A and B are shown apart, each in its own frame.
Chain A
Amino acid sequence: MYKIKEGMLSWLLHKITGVAIVAYLIIHIWSMAKMSKGPEAFNAVIETYKTTLFRAGEVLLLGAILFHGLNGFRLILAEFTAWASKRHKLLIYLTYVLAVVLFIIGGWFMWRAEG
């Protein structure tokens, strides 16, 4: 099998996190549209948001958004500047480190916060 190098791993993760975020976007827009149906309908949606499963999903979503955003920023830099393209491996590792650090900090706050 061909070796999966840094750039290839980032590309695969970018696609996977992208699909996950779009899946959440569909759920999010669909459920927020219930705002127009009044407080009862909306509160019922909010109750499902408070379940452990959904909250775990939200924390994972934070990870997906952090990686997708940071990697997207790196890609824009790499495609628009020779400076970033020359240092692509360093910048890729930087996105991994930043994504993990921000995920741990942000995820902890999200998990601790009430609903």
Chain B
Amino acid sequence: MSSRGSQAWLFQRVTAVLIFLLLGTHVFLYHYLMGPANWGYDILGFGAADLAKIKADPNLMKYYSLAKVFANPMWKVFDVTLITVGTYHGFYGIKAIIDDWVTHNGWRAIGNWVTYLIGFIIWVIGVVAVISFTPKLY
């Protein structure tokens, strides 16, 4: 954030690599193991009782299976990390675009602060939702 851009440049690359690893896991878990590949439930430690409930009500399936993962403290840490790294990389990227394309000093400063603000709000929404999550069942 200082005028010295070297750390920001390095951070953007380090977070890029982190996102590659974390997002890969995230997509594989939520959008493959828990989606097309039903066997994911076994890996994630769903008992016979859980599976019976899920099979009984297809509507409940998506929420219930996600809730099970969301309630797990280890995955909470994972999701908070991903949200933090993702919002940093994404919104710093937007800031860098504004730095380039907005040539008027005043508008650039406003654009930067609006970007930081939106990024911070999104980060708070995500982190609060993940940390405070407790499953609600029908």
Q: Are chains A and B touching directly in their complex (CB below 8 angstroms)?
A: yes
- A residues neighboring B (CB under 8 Å): 15, 18-19, 21-22, 25-26, 29-30, 32-33, 35-36, 38-39, 42-43, 46, 65, 69, 72-73, 76, 79, 109, 113
User: Is B35 within 8 A of A113, CB to CB?
Assistant: yes
B18 sits at the interface (CB 8 A): no
User: Is B94 within 8 A of A43, CB to CB?
Assistant: no
User: Is A25 within 8 A of B87, CB to CB?
Assistant: yes
Known contacts A39-B137, A43-B62; 7 additional CB pairs below 8 A are: A22-B90, A26-B122, A29-B125, A35-B66, A35-B67, A72-B16, A109-B36
B66's closest neighbor in chain A, by CB?
A35
User: Is A30 within 8 A of B122, CB to CB?
Assistant: yes
Which of B20, B59, B133, B137 contacts A35, CB < 8 Å? Answer: B133
User: Is A15 within 8 A of B36, CB to CB?
Assistant: no
Q: How far does the Cβ of B1 sit from chain A's closest Cβ, in whole Å? A: 18
B129 sits at the interface (CB 8 A): yes
Q: What is the bound-complex CA distance between A39 and B133, given in angstroms?
A: 12
Q: How far does the Cβ of B66 sit from chain A's closest Cβ, in whole Å? A: 7
